[in-house]
């Protein structure tokens, strides 16, 4: 089943619901970063969560999640655009503590710390930033706590990544249900019960449900309509031109120094693990550009 995200509204606009299947993009993240199973699960939950939260904000903003914590994972970053591009990484891709209760111990791998949510206008400008303590390090709970506490939107959020015995991602996805102003208390309780009864998000995906079918199952008792469907994918914003700009930003003296010593620049993007290489000739071209421009 292809990755995708669906948005729906229900109960006369007082319920917002989103669901996503992210199996392929989480597996791509695993391959790019070489993550061990627990790190794969943590990164996959964060990527899926960033996409879901990103789909609830303004169309001209990018949503970033940053977890800084004391567990073996040493934290992670993920960010998503309204168009459905998401990228991210964990600081320690080999983190894989012993399973707990037969499950990957994502909370143990993350540890205690903070969740920082940022919203950055795509066109530049001032960003919104909120930092909250982690609740459990399981990521879905932490994001739900942020939504309820900081954004004051009652939210039920589930994120799941199933890692096969060989390390590949067998199913990943999640959903977000929110009650908006005007919703009845009973509606909020109904959603909580529906989520409590539902199988795990990764199980819904593995059973072959597409995002719209996931919402039909969760909102069986709530009249609702799908208002948007979109593709989602792992996609980074790095490029050779960005790397060149970063080198130019180091300044003439620094580039001259590199030309005198290593005579090359090797760089790797943290977000997608792409490697970039600037040889002596490209460095001299950049230096000439700097000299002519100033
Ligand atoms: Zn990149």
- Residue 57: pLDDT over 90: no
Give the Å distance between the CA of 273 and the centre of ligand 1. Answer: 6
Mean pLDDT value across residues 12-16: 94
Distance from Cα 283 to the centre of ligand 1, integer Å: 21
- Measure the CA–CA gap between 192 and 187, rounded to whole angstroms: 9
Q: Does domain 4-234 have CATH number 3.90.25.10?
A: no
What spacing in Å lies between the alpha carbon of 271 and ligand 1's midpoint? 5
Q: So what's the pLDDT on residue 165? A: 95
The per-residue pLDDT for 117 is 97
Q: How far is the CA of 215 from the centre of ligand 1 (A)?
A: 32
Query: How many angstroms is it from 159 CA to the middle of ligand 1?
Result: 24
Residue 293 has pLDDT above 80, yes or no: no
Joined tokens for residue 226: 């799908």
The pTM score is 0.94
The predicted-structure confidence for 227-264, as pLDDT tens digits, reads as follows: 999 999 999 999 999 999 998 998 899 999 999 999 99
If one counts every other C-beta atom within 10 angstroms of the C-beta of residue 9, the result is: 17
Q: Say what percent of the chain tops pLDDT 70.
A: 99
Å from CA of 267 to ligand 1 middle: 10
Q: How far is the CA of 50 from the centre of ligand 1 (A)?
A: 17
179 Cα–ligand 1 center, Å: 36
Ligand 1 centroid vs 242 CA: distance in angstroms?
Answer: 10
Ligand 1 center–CA 270 separation, angstroms: 6
Per-domain boundaries in the chain: 4-234, 240-293
Confidence at residue 60, expressed as pLDDT on a 0 to 100 scale: 87
Q: What's the pLDDT score for residue 215?
A: 96
Output the pLDDT for position 212. Answer: 97
CA distances from 270 to 218, 251, 286 (A): 36, 22, 23
Tell me the CA–centroid distance for residue 39 and ligand 1, in Å. 19
Report the residue count for the chain: 294
What is the pLDDT confidence band of residue 294, given thresholds at 50, 70 and 90?
low
How many angstroms does the Cα of residue 240 sit away from the middle of ligand 1?
Answer: 10
Q: Decide if 229 contacts 21 (C-beta within 8 A).
A: no
Q: How far is the CA of 78 from the centre of ligand 1 (A)?
A: 12
Distance 19 CA to ligand 1 centre (A): 26
Please tell me the predicted confidence (pLDDT) of residue 98. 95
Distance 117 CA to ligand 1 centre (A): 20
pLDDT given at position 289: 85
Assigned CATH for 240-293: 3.90.1280.10
Residue 59 has pLDDT above 90, yes or no: no
Distance 243 CA to ligand 1 centre (A): 10
pLDDT digits (tens, 9 = 90+) for 91-149: 999 999 999 999 999 999 999 999 999 999 988 888 899 999 999 999 999 999 999 99
- The mean predicted confidence, pLDDT, of the chain is 94
Q: Are strands 233-234 and 224-230 parallel, antiparallel or unpaired?
A: unpaired
Ligand 1 mean position to 67 CA, how many Å?
19
Asked if domains 4-234 and 240-293 share a fold, the reply is no
Instruction: Tell me, in angstroms, the distance from the centre of ligand 1 to residue 71's CA.
Output: 25
Helix, strand, coil proportions of the chain in percent (round to 5)? Answer: 35, 30, 35
Tokens 């996503």 locate to 20
Instruction: Identify the band that residue 290 occupies on the pLDDT scale cut at 50, 70 and 90.
Output: confident
* Predicted local distance difference test score (pLDDT) of residue 48: 98
């Amino acid at each position: 089943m292809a990755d995708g995200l669906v948005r729906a509204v229900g109960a006369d606009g007082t319920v917002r619901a989103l669901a996503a299947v992210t199996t392929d993009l989480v597996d791509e993240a695993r391959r790019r970063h070489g993550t061990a199973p627990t790190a794969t699960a943590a990164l996959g939950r964060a990527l899926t969560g960033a996409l879901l939260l990103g789909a609830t904000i303004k169309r001209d903003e990018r949503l970033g999640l940053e977890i800084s914590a004391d567990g073996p994972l040493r934290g992670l970053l993920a960010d998503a655009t309204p168009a459905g591009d998401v990228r991210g990484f964990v600081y320690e891709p080999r983190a894989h503590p012993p399973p707990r209760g037969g499950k990957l111990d994502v909370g143990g791998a993350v540890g205690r710390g903070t969740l920082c949510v940022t919203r950055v206008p795509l066109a530049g400008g001032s960003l919104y930033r909120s930092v909250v303590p982690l609740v459990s390090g399981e990521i879905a709970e932490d994001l739900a706590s942020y939504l309820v506490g900081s954004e004051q939107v009652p939210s039920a959020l589930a994120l799941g990544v199933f890692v096969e015995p060989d390390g590949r991602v067998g199913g990943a996805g999640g959903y977000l249900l929110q009650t908006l102003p005007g919703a009845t208390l009973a509606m909020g309780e109904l959603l909580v019960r529906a989520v409590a009864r539902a199988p795990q998000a990764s199980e819904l995906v593995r059973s072959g449900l597409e995002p719209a079918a996931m919402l039909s199952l969760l909102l069986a008792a709530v009249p609702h309509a799908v208002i948007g469907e979109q593709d989602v994918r792992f996609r980074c914003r790095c490029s050779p031109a960005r790397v060149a700009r970063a080198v130019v930003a180091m300044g003439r003296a620094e580039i001259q120094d590199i030309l005198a010593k290593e005579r090359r620049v090797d760089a790797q993007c943290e977000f997608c693990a792409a490697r970039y290489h600037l040889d002596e000739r490209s460095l001299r071209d950049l230096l000439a550009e700097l000299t002519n421009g100033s």
